[in-house]
Amino acid sequence: MYLMNWCCAHAGTQQVLEVWLKGINVARSKWGTATVLLALAGSLSGTARAQAVPVPPSPTIQQTPTLENQALQGLRYDNLYEIYGGPAYSHFNPGPALVAGSNLGGFDIQGTRWMSKLIGATANVRGYYGTNGVIPNDTNTHGPFIYQHQLMGGATFRGPRSEHAAFDLHVLVGGSYGVFNSALNPGQTPGSLGLFSNGFALAMAGGGSIDLNRSPKLALRISPDILVTRFGGNYQEEFAISVGILYRFSKVRK
């Protein structure tokens, strides 16, 4: 074996073969043919056993789980109707003689019929409720309860959108009915406390919405607005926002 290894390291293939055969002849003449055959059989058996050693399988590469919502891939924004509702907030100044406004809470409900892929007709109902400070008075009234209900309609324009979110703009016009004498003492009028008188007034809303989709039918909507009303012959600007659930009906726009 030493002779064969030395030959492999220092000679070409033909020379190695010649030296190897000469080594076999020398061994056969010295120890006999049977001994040489047994030695070769043992060497080949050892080589076969070495080659038969099982090779461990390569480790399986785990695929990284996807974080995408597979259900949203079918969202095409081709629904005909949708409805939205949620709690709402508004900052409103309920009187011409009042410096500080009031923080009102309430509700915001919107329904839209999509006339095309980008334009829809929207109807909107809102209500805002709360208390507000008043000017000094003889009856020691501090925070009467006030509220207003609004009914408006207009257009919604669909902006950038994907399967995850959509951005819309809307312009609404209608009316607001305000009540400012609730829970007043007998004989008191809203004007004596610096408040507007009860009645109807023009109402307008300009704003938009961000829809965060949870499924093709359901989305979380955030809808901020600038509200404009006209009580007492003057315009009032107020900030309003609502957060709620949008539901898209299954009927598809043709």
Give the per-residue pLDDT at 121. Answer: 98
Give the per-residue pLDDT at 205. Answer: 98
159-163, 169-173, 193-197, 217-221: segment of lowest average pLDDT: 193-197
* Whole-angstrom distance, CA of residue 111 vs CA of residue 134: 36
Is the distance from CB of 125 to CB of 151 less than 8 angstroms?
yes
* Whole-angstrom distance, CA of residue 113 vs CA of residue 106: 24
What's the pLDDT band for 186 if we cut at 50, 70, 90?
confident
What's the pLDDT band for 15 if we cut at 50, 70, 90?
low
Chain region(s) in the chain for CATH 2.40.160.20: 74-248
Q: What is the rounded average pLDDT of the residues 183-199?
A: 82
CA of 159: how far to CAs of 3, 119, 124, 210, 229, in Å? 85, 10, 20, 10, 27
Q: Which of 240, 211, 243 is nearest to 82 (CA)?
A: 211
- Is 0.85 topped by the overall pTM? no
Q: What is the rounded average pLDDT of the residues 131-135?
A: 79
121's tokens:
């007709």
Q: What is the rounded average pLDDT of the residues 110-126?
A: 96
Q: What is the rounded average pLDDT of the residues 76-84?
A: 93
Token pair 């609502």 is at which residue? 242
Q: Provide the phi-psi class of 214: left if phi over 0, else alpha when psi is between -120 and 50, else beta.
A: alpha
Give the per-residue pLDDT at 48. Answer: 47
* End-to-end C-alpha distance for the chain, whole angstroms: 88
What's the pLDDT band for 4 if we cut at 50, 70, 90?
very low
CA of 54: how far to CAs of 42, 46, 49, 61, 235, in Å? 21, 15, 10, 21, 87
28-37, 144-153, 158-167: segment of lowest average pLDDT: 28-37
* Whole-angstrom distance, CA of residue 192 vs CA of residue 207: 35
Is the distance from CB of 86 to CB of 247 less than 8 angstroms?
no
- State yes or no: pLDDT of 10 exceeds 60: no
* Whole-angstrom distance, CA of residue 147 vs CA of residue 3: 109
* CATH no. for 74-248: 2.40.160.20
